[in-house]
């Protein structure tokens, strides 16, 4: 189920990530949702949604890191 707007994201994403990181998450999730449609393209027995969430979190972690309870942009 791709996301059309940030307000549709899961609560753990909306409640913890800054706005820009939410955009990264949403775009990565939607892209992975399309890319991993075929179960043969996924690792193990992972479902399509689970795979898309993993890809989305990975994309966020490329640009953000957690400091204490907050997600902050990594230094360049």
Which domains, ranges and CATH numbers included, belong to the chain? 11-73 (1.10.1740.70)
- Which stretches of the chain are DSSP H helices? 11-14, 19-35, 48-63
> Could you list the pLDDT tens digit for every one of the 76 residues in the chain?
899 999 999 999 999 999 999 999 999 999 999 998 888 888 888 899 999 999 999 999 999 999 999 999 998 6
Residues comprising the chain, all counted: 76
* Encoded tokens for 57: 């979190």
Taking the C-alpha atoms of residue 72 and residue 32, their distance in angstroms, rounded to an integer, is 24
Start-to-end Cα distance in the chain: 33
pLDDT of residue 76: 66
pLDDT of residue 6: 97
């Amino acid at each position: 189920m791709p996301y059309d707007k940030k307000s549709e994201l899961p609560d753990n994403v909306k409640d913890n990530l800054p706005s820009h990181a939410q955009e990264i998450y949403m775009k990565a999730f939607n892209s992975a949702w399309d890319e991993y449609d075929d179960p043969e393209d996924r690792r193990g027995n992972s479902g399509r949604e689970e795979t898309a969430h993993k890809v989305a979190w990975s994309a966020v972690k490329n640009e953000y890191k957690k400091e204490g309870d907050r997600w902050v942009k990594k230094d360049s």
